[in-house]
């Protein structure tokens, strides 16, 4: 059995390239991790459990595609870990909620691979995080880090609208038949993105053939404004 240090493996780079997209109101931070290849090797060597899976209910997960999640538990957050989160939150405060946030001390990585899906009209069914009616200054902040080298697609954001969640019928749906695509935040290896969760959004894949052998990996953290804590 081998061991590793969370602080060492997931150490932030000192050479962040931070960009703000004024039109669509999101940050990108390239060169986010110091050693992203080590992280990719670490998660690629893991067994991955199916995510949102119930054996008692018929589901295409495990049949048409694999939708999984890896969780690295942080039982005792160190000062280095807390400082790294505070560094990231200071970026959020430049444009979003100015005060304190709370978050779960876990490292969660979404893992996706296709089995039978090839038609890119089928996309991850979009969702919101937090409340649809939240203004940007009190909205949940989504942090994603793209951790695979295919660099295909990214995160799609759809025009302001609301449709009932259909994930129980399958993660992949003909989304653009139901709502209009607004823009895509491009995926790039070791890129962190920060955006408000009050917009309908979901993973977007242009070429499913890139994920028949390789996994699509993306880390996710949610930052909740402290003023919203009683609502969670």
Angstrom distance (rounded) from CA 231 to CA 196: 17
Answer yes or no: is 112 within a domain. Answer: yes
Q: Specify whether the CB–CB gap between 210 and 152 falls below 8 A.
A: yes
Answer yes or no: is 109 within a domain. Answer: yes
Q: Give the domain range for residue 14.
A: 6-231
Q: Which residues pair with 195 in a beta bridge?
A: 142
- The continuous run of DSSP H or E covering 8 comes out as helix 6-9
Q: How many CB atoms lie within 10 A of CB 222?
A: 17
pTM comes to: 0.91
Answer yes or no: is 1 within a domain. Answer: no
Q: Which residues pair with 26 in a beta bridge?
A: 21
Per residue in 8-28, pLDDT tens? Answer: 899 999 999 999 999 999 999
Per residue in 79-111, pLDDT tens? Answer: 888 999 999 999 999 998 887 899 988 899 999
Answer yes or no: is 208 within a domain. Answer: yes
Angstrom distance (rounded) from CA 209 to CA 171: 18
Q: Specify whether the CB–CB gap between 195 and 141 falls below 8 A.
A: yes
Nearest 5°: the CA angle 189, 50, 66 is: 60
Per residue in 108-150, pLDDT tens? Answer: 999 999 999 989 899 999 988 876 556 666 789 999 999 999 9
Residue 213 has pLDDT above 70, yes or no: yes
Answer yes or no: is 76 within a domain. Answer: yes
For range 172-176, the mean pLDDT: 90
200 vs 138, which has greater pLDDT?
200
How many domains would you assign to the chain?
Answer: 1
Residue 51's pLDDT is what? 80
Residue 85's pLDDT is what? 93
Domain of residue 17, CATH code: 2.60.120
Answer yes or no: is 53 within a domain. Answer: yes
Residue 232's pLDDT is what? 46
Answer yes or no: is 69 within a domain. Answer: yes
């Amino acid at each position: 059995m081998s061991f590793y240090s969370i602080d060492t493996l997931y150490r932030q780079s000192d050479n962040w390239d931070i960009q703000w997209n004024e039109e669509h109101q999101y940050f990108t931070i390239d060169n986010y991790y110091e050693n992203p290849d080590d992280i990719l090797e670490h998660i690629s060597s893991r067994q991955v459990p199916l995510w949102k899976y119930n054996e008692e209910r018929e589901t295409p997960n495990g049949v048409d595609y694999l939708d999984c999640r890896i969780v690295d538990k942080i039982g005792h957050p160190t000062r280095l870990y807390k400082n790294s989160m505070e560094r990231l939150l200071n970026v959020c405060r430049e444009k979003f909620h100015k005060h304190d946030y709370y978050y779960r001390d876990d490292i969660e990585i979404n893992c996706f691979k296709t089995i039978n899906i090839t038609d890119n009209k089928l996309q991850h069914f979009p969702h919101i995080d937090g409340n649809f009616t939240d203004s940007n200054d009190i909205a949940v902040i989504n942090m994603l880090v793209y951790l695979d080298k295919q660099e295909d697609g990214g995160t799609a954001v759809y025009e302001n609208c609301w449709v009932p969640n259909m994930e129980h019928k399958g993660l992949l749906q003909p989304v653009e038949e139901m709502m209009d695509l607004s823009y895509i935040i491009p995926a790039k290896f070791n890129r962190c993105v920060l955006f408000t969760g009050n917009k309908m959004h979901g993973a977007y894949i242009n070429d499913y053939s890139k994920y028949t052998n390789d996994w699509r990996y993306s880390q996710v953290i949610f930052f909740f404004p402290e003023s919203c804590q009683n609502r969670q």
